[in-house]
Amino acid sequence: MIKINFFKDLKYLFKRFVLIANVLPTLFGFLLAWKYYEVSFTNYFPSFLLLIIGSGMLVAGALACNNWLEADVDKLMERTKNRPTVTGTMSLKTVLGIGLTLSISGQLILLFINFEVALYGWIGWFTYVVVYTIWTKRRVTWNTHIGSLSGAVTPLMGWAVIEPAFHVIPLSLFLIMFLWQMPHTYAIAIRKYDDYARAGLKMLPVVKGYQTTIRRTSIYIALLFFVPFMINHLSVMFYLLISILNLAWFIISLKGFQTKKMKSWADQLFISSLIYLMGVYTLYLIFV
């Protein structure tokens, strides 16, 4: 029973879906570079393993540090009631120790791959833990932009295992990830509006209202139309399919202006955001 409870605590501490959602784009960036440069997977397999382990530990460490920093507000929210910092099954000292140990270990493992991978990992960790969690989340509504920056560097980490990420393909993915996370996060903030309002966190729907959130959601999704055209050497089918995917998500965003059932619309926006991102990943893997 103790072991079961321990692993259950880790599941909530590391926010398992958030952990997976941050590691997968890293692996995707690697696979895309591997395909693009047509290098031997066998030669890069040790680095691939280090990438999985290092990025997983670094993200898990950042999430644990986030739990430690937000223990006071987590007690006020329904969505975070099962975190060990709220239930008391782990002390704050233990959570901090886990967070720092995993963060440092993950960073060192990424450094074994190369400096660029480790640099992107550090940027992601610092922006999420320090700039987002400590400096902005309780103060300003544009905290979402900082959190989005943290998640957007993940494809760059994967690509940089094979070649420097200052290349139009990984940079386009960086922009897609950055813009995508705003509507995705706004959808979560609307779905959990009462939690954020009770905790006093400066999420856009809580501070500026639904109409402002819908407008900004539509703007960010509209901007996504232009990003794939940064890459000018792919087939017409790629641009057609990704534009159709973008248009479908944009239409869903516009529905927010016509509905009074905001949480129902936010559910649609959230689910469609996941479908959109998986569609983009698939199209990149097929055509790039």
pLDDT value, residue 53: 97
DSSP symbols for 148-187: HHHHHTHHHHHHHTTS-S-SHHHHHHHHHHHHHHHHHHHH
Q: What is the CATH number of domain 1-164?
A: 1.10.357.140
What is the four-CA torsion angle of 149, 210, 79, 84, rounded to 10 degrees? 40
Residue 124 near residue 58 (C-beta atoms within 8 A): yes
Distance CA 237, CA 55 (A): 33
| Number of CB atoms found within 10 A of residue 41's CB | 11
pLDDT value, residue 39: 96
Per-residue pLDDT of the chain (288 residues; tens, 9 = 90+): 445 576 777 878 887 788 889 999 999 999 999 999 999 999 999 999 999 999 999 999 999 999 999 999 999 998 888 899 999 999 999 999 999 999 999 999 999 999 999 999 999 999 999 999 999 999 999 999 999 999 999 999 999 999 999 999 999 999 999 999 999 999 999 999 999 999 999 999 999 999 999 999 999 999 999 999 999 889 999 999 999 999 999 999 999 999 889 999 999 999 999 999 999 999 999 998
Distance CA 62, CA 55 (A): 10
Distance CA 218, CA 251 (A): 9
Residue 169 near residue 231 (C-beta atoms within 8 A): yes
Position of tokens 């869903």? 252
Contacts of 260 (CB under 8 A, 6+ apart): none
DSSP symbols for the chain: -HHHHHHHHHHHHTTHHHHHHHHHHHHHHHHHHHHHHT--HHHHHHHHHHHHHHHHHHHHHHHHHHHHHTHHHHTT-GGGTTSHHHHSSS-HHHHHHHHHHHHHHHHHHHHHH-HHHHHHHHHHHHIIIIIIIIIITTT-TTHHHHHHHHHHTHHHHHHHTTS-S-SHHHHHHHHHHHHHHHHHHHHHHHHTHHHHHHHT---HHHHH-HHHHHHHHHHHHHHHTTGGGG--SS-HHHHHHHHHHHHHHHHHHHGGGT-S-HHHHHHHHHHHHHHHHHHHHHHHHHH-
pLDDT value, residue 4: 53
Compute CA 283 distance to the chain's CA centroid, rounded to the nearest angstrom.
19
Domain range annotation of the chain? 1-164, 167-288
pLDDT value, residue 80: 86
pLDDT value, residue 8: 76
Residue 283 near residue 245 (C-beta atoms within 8 A): yes
pLDDT value, residue 1: 47
Position of tokens 């619309």? 265
